[in-house]
Amino acid sequence: MSIYVDEKTRVVVHGLTGGQARFHGLRNRDYGTNVVAGVNPAKGGQDVEGIPVFATASEAREATGANASFVAVPAKVAPGSVLEAAAAGIDLIVCITEGIPAQDEARVYSELRHKYPSVRLIGPNCPGVISPGKCNIGITAGEIARAGGPVGIVSRSGTLTYQALYELKQMGIGVTTCVGIGGDPVPGTTFVDCLAAFEADPSTRAVMLIGEIGGTEEEKAAAFIADRVTKPVVAYIAGVTAPPGRRMGHAGAIISGNKGTARAKMEALGEAGVKVALNPTEAGELMAQLVRAL
């Protein structure tokens, strides 16, 4: 099994006629993802290499039965695209767009929770979600991921998401689903959301969590793991040497006082029974040890 996406997922790509969305949308299709439509208000009725383009998400869903949306449009129109997909009845929205103002992210998050509580948003500013061999929505290179489980991955960092997938593939370890939740201040999906989904998925027998400095989401994840997760977890937290008060990478990666430091997150996870690695390669090695013991 997998979480969030599988071979039955039908994807509509917002902005498919544009450069970035076209590149990644077609790459997702070539991977085997069921990309059924594109959306562009100005180019409805056209097609991109056989994929029909509709003027609205509602038209696309009605015509194709799309149940997932891939938003790859500029920051100024991304919030509207996310809300349009939700209003159309699309249950899963993956938004890779970076540079969306935090206040817009907060507004969209609030509207989704109040008006469309069944909709799951992954992102923004994330690599997306991949269930290897089944479905890939986003910018992850499918060839670096091995299918078949038993590991689930959830990560705030895009680059480290790719490294985790490749490290495991090099050791012959497959992945059920890998979710890049993004590192912006207001993510649509959190560590806890993914941990709960992996805990409920019988095919996921171990979880790798990749965090970074800033915020308290990793500490919340540690508390959830201690109370609710029965499966073994390996974690790596980036940013051990980051100086307090300086933003490192993502907009959400900022330390304030004693809060949000890598050390504090590592300690919380360790106290919850998580095996905490000091670098990405060690995280892969620790996971390999766990998998051999399963």
CATH H-level superfamily of 10-122: NAD(P)-binding Rossmann-like Domain (3.40.50.720)
Distance CA 58, CA 237 (A): 40
What is the token pair recorded at 68? 């997932």
Which residue ranges make up each domain of the chain?
10-122, 141-293
Measured between alpha carbons, how far is residue 3 from residues 16, 52, 53, 160, 193 in Å?
A: 25, 27, 28, 20, 11
Does residue 250 carry a catalytic annotation? yes
- The catalytic position among 14, 24, 114, 250 is 250
Long-range contacts of 19-25, Cβ-Cβ distance < 8 Å, separation of 24 or more:
20/72, 21/70, 21/72, 21/73, 22/48, 24/70, 24/72, 24/96, 24/138, 24/139, 25/51, 25/70, 25/72
Write down the pLDDT at residue 25: 98
- pLDDT-based confidence at 215, cuts 50/70/90? confident
- pLDDT-based confidence at 186, cuts 50/70/90? very high
Whole-number mean pLDDT of the chain? Answer: 94
pLDDT, mean of residues 44-54: 97
What is the token pair recorded at 95? 């938004």
What is the token pair recorded at 287? 């996971």
| Same fold for the pair 10-122 and 141-293 | yes
User: Residue 248 pLDDT more than 60?
Assistant: no
Q: Looking at this protein, which amino acid is placed at residue 136?
A: N
User: Residue 202 pLDDT more than 60?
Assistant: yes
**SS3 of residue 257 by DSSP:** coil
In terms of Cβ atoms closer than 10 Å to its own Cβ (0-12, 13-18, 19+), residue 232 is buried
Q: For the whole model, what pTM was predicted?
A: 0.94
**SS3 of residue 117 by DSSP:** coil
62-116 pLDDT, tens per residue? Answer: 999 999 999 999 999 999 999 999 999 999 999 999 999 999 999 999 999 999 9
Write down the pLDDT at residue 284: 96
Write down the pLDDT at residue 247: 54
- pLDDT-based confidence at 1, cuts 50/70/90? confident
Domain 141-293, architecture per CATH: 3-Layer(aba) Sandwich (3.40)
User: Residue 212 pLDDT more than 60?
Assistant: yes
Residue 254 pairs in a beta bridge with: 247
